[in-house]
Amino acid sequence: MTIMLVTGTGTEIGKTVVTAAVAALALGAGRRVAVLKPAQTGVTSEEPGDVDEVLRLAGELTTSELARYPEPLAPATAAARSGLPPVSPEQIAKEAARLALDHDLVLVEGAGGLLVRYDEQGSTLAEVPRALDALGHACTVLLVTTAGLGTLNTTALTAEALRSRGVALLGLVIGAWPAEPDLAARCNLADLPVVAGAPLLGALPAGLTGDGPSYDGADRVSLRSTARSCLAPALGGVWDGLETALPGISR
């Protein structure tokens, strides 16, 4: 059993597609997978959220969502404005631990960046590992980041925030690698693991998810194949870092 927190250096950087890619590889390996979204913001109860997107992309798995707020804001702000109760790290940990009882992999996808506030006390996803430890469960943290200029600073700050809390970082994944990377993106492939103090575990191509309402079986096989070639063995793939070329990068 593994609990993995998928967090990011910001919003709209590919956390959901990375979560789906990791889930797809685990499903392909015959593992029982659950995906937990503690707080979904910016969608109504009738609209599809991030867990629905993971289902669309990866296939059948268990999903859980603790709270949903209609306005596209940080969870604490969205909860306060909606009059709905916020979500605490303890609640997140309890639900992840419950799912871990009968699943081999539990993926917990955060909202926005690591230190986005979930309640009025300032709780963040970074407090969840300690809450899980109190329940007798360990977890790993996967950080989704961007490819281009500015990513080194946000990645370094997020990694530092994890270290200051005694939370180990499993590694980094670039959520949307451009088809035509510029000089900064190409250089960042080598620089990102240095500033984070953690390995680069993959880079998913931009536009991987498509725009259709659903993936059919062939689409999911294609996604799984792409994930396998673009993610490292630690995530179920075969990517061997800079030894394997990415678009715009020669070996």
- The DSSP call for residue 168 is P
Closest CA to 112 of 138, 81, 73: 73
**Exposed, middle or buried, 244 (CB in 10 Å: 0-12/13-18/19+)?**
middle
What would the two tokens of residue 24 be?
A: 């797809």
Closest CA to 17 of 158, 146, 132: 146
- Is the sign of the CA dihedral 61, 64, 69, 72 positive or negative? negative
Distances (CA, A) of 33 to 15, 55, 124, 128, 189: 17, 11, 24, 19, 30
**Catalytic-labelled residue, pool 15, 37, 68, 224:** 37
Q: For this structure, is 37 an active site residue?
A: yes
Q: Which residues are catalytic?
A: 37
